[in-house]
């Protein structure tokens, strides 16, 4: 088998896989939960807490937020949340001073470690909060991230 | 649009998964400087990840997620050769999926 034929076969395989993933992409609704428009549109921390039923969450030193003290670029602030709490079911990320404070809500199952990292935009200096639900109870931790130039105004 | 770059490698007892999705993540709060009009909101609302067909992660995202979203997570009990699928859908109904095979460490 010559080199060209080999490459052609590999190329065909790639196109096939792409076709399958595109086809899968046409049927997304079954796999995705409804988007919590109310909570994601809420404009204050108390409103988010109320809508998500996480008001009064106890502070926990078993939650670690790894984020910069000062954001170099407020459009790209990397936030890592991990926890040593058992049976973590969800991790929520809230930025108090953002226009829409709720940034992300992760549901974990089937062996997911209590660890997520993502990058967010921040409008101004704010507390960044993680809410971790473990065994049906929600715990929280917070870290301040300083912003010198906002990430929401372009 | 539609492209998801995935890196999935075993690290001890868990699969270390990192992915980058190509998406503008427009908040709907920023003005186009040339026209003075708001750039309409266009952002990913839901992300799911499955390993061998089992959902491990389902995320809902708001407008705060950065352009070209980055996501990293870890799956215990996964093993080299397992098939990972990551999919997203956005507020305009656009969607994409990416697949990867978890590599040995």
* Amino acid B3: pLDDT: 82
A118 and A59 inside one domain: yes
Q: Is A6 in the same domain as A62?
A: no
Residue A75 φ then ψ, to 5°: -85, -15
Residue A151 lies in a domain: no
Measured distance CA(A100)–CA(A79) in Å, rounded:
17
Q: Look at residues A78, A135, A115, A85 and name the one whose alpha carbon lies nearest to residue B56.
A: A115
| Residues A28 and A75 occupy one common structural domain | no
Statement to judge: residues A57 and A94 lie in one domain: yes
Question: 3-class SS at A56?
Answer: coil
Together in a domain, A122 and A58: yes
Report the CATH number at residue B65: 2.60.40.10
Q: Are residues A26 and A47 in the same domain?
A: no
Q: Are residues A118 and A55 in the same domain?
A: yes
Question: Which two tokens mark A101?
Answer: 């404070």
Beta-carbon separation of A112 and B33 below 8 A: no
CB contact under 8 Å between A31 and B69, yes or no, is no
ipTM of the complex: 0.96
Are residues A41 and A26 part of one domain? no
For residue A7, name the pLDDT band (cuts at 50, 70, 90): very low
Domain hosting residue B45, numbered range: 4-101
Percent pLDDT > 90 in chain A is 73
pLDDT band at B21 (very low <50, low <70, confident <90, very high): very high
Residue A152 lies in a domain: no
The total number of structural domains that make up chain A: 2
Q: What is the reported pLDDT for A32?
A: 86
Does B1 or A64 have the greater pLDDT score? Answer: A64
Residues A41 and A18 in one domain: no
- C-alpha neighbours within 13 Å on the C-beta side of residue A54: 25
Res A134: pLDDT: 96
**A21 shares a domain with A48:** no
- State the average pLDDT for chain B: 95
In the prediction, which pLDDT does A12 show?
40
Res A152 pLDDT > 70: no
Helices within A28-107 (DSSP H only): 37-41, 45-52
Do the domain assignments include residue A73? yes
Q: What is the CA radius of gyration of chain B?
A: 16
Confirm or reject contact between B69 and chain A (CB < 8 A): yes
With b meaning 16 or more CB within 10 Å and e meaning fewer, what string describes A19-38?
A: eebeebbeebeebbeebbee
Report the residue count for chain B. 105
Nearest CA in chain B to A31: B48
Structure token digits, residue A38: 């109310």
* Residue A121, min C-alpha distance to chain B (Å): 5
CATH number at residue A137: 2.60.40.2470
pLDDT tens digits for A13-52? Answer: 444 444 444 444 444 445 688 999 999 999 999 999 999 9
Positive or negative torsion for Cα B3, A109, A94, A144: negative
* pLDDT per position as a tens digit, B63-96: 999 999 999 999 999 999 999 999 999 999 999 9
Q: CB–CB of A58/A85 below 8 Å?
A: no
pLDDT given for residue B105 in this prediction = 84
Q: Is A117 left (phi over 0), alpha (psi -120 to 50) or beta?
A: beta
A61, pLDDT greater than 80: yes
Digit-coded pLDDT (tens) for A102-127: 999 999 999 999 999 999 999 999 99
Which domain range does residue A7 map to?
1-32
Total domains, chain B: 1
Our CA-based measurement puts residue B105 at a distance from the nearest CA of chain A, in whole angstroms, of: 18
Pair A60, A73 in one domain = yes
Shared domain check, A128 and A79: yes
């Amino acid at each position: 088998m010559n080199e060209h034929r080999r490459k052609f076969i590999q190329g065909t395989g790639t196109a096939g896989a792409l076709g399958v993933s595109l086809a899968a992409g046409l049927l997304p609704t079954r796999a995705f939960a409804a988007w919590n428009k109310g909570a994601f549109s809420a404009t204050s921390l108390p409103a988010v807490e109320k809508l998500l039923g996480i008001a009064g969450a106890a502070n926990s030193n078993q939650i670690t937020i790894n984020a910069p003290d000062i954001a170099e670029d407020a459009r790209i602030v990397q936030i890592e949340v991990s926890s040593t709490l058992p049976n973590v079911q969800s991790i929520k990320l809230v930025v108090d001073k953002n226009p829409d404070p709720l940034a992300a809500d992760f549901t974990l199952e089937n062996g997911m470690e209590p660890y997520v990292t993502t990058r967010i935009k921040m409008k101004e200096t704010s507390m960044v909060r993680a809410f971790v639900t473990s065994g049906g109870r929600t715990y929280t931790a917070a870290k301040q991230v300083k912003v010198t130039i906002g990430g929401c105004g372009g | 649009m539609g492209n998801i770059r995935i890196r999935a490698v075993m690290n001890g007892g868990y699969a270390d998964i990192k992915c980058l999705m190509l998406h503008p993540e427009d908040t709907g709060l920023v003005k186009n400087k040339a026209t003075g009009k708001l750039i309409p909101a266009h952002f990913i609302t839901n992300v799911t990840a499955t390993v061998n067909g089992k959902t491990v992660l389902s995320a809902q995202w708001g407008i705060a997620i950065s352009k070209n979203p980055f996501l990293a997570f870890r799956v215990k009990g996964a093993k080299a050769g397992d098939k990972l699928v990551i999919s997203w859908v956005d507020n305009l109904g656009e969607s994409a999926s990416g697949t990867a095979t978890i590599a040995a460490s």
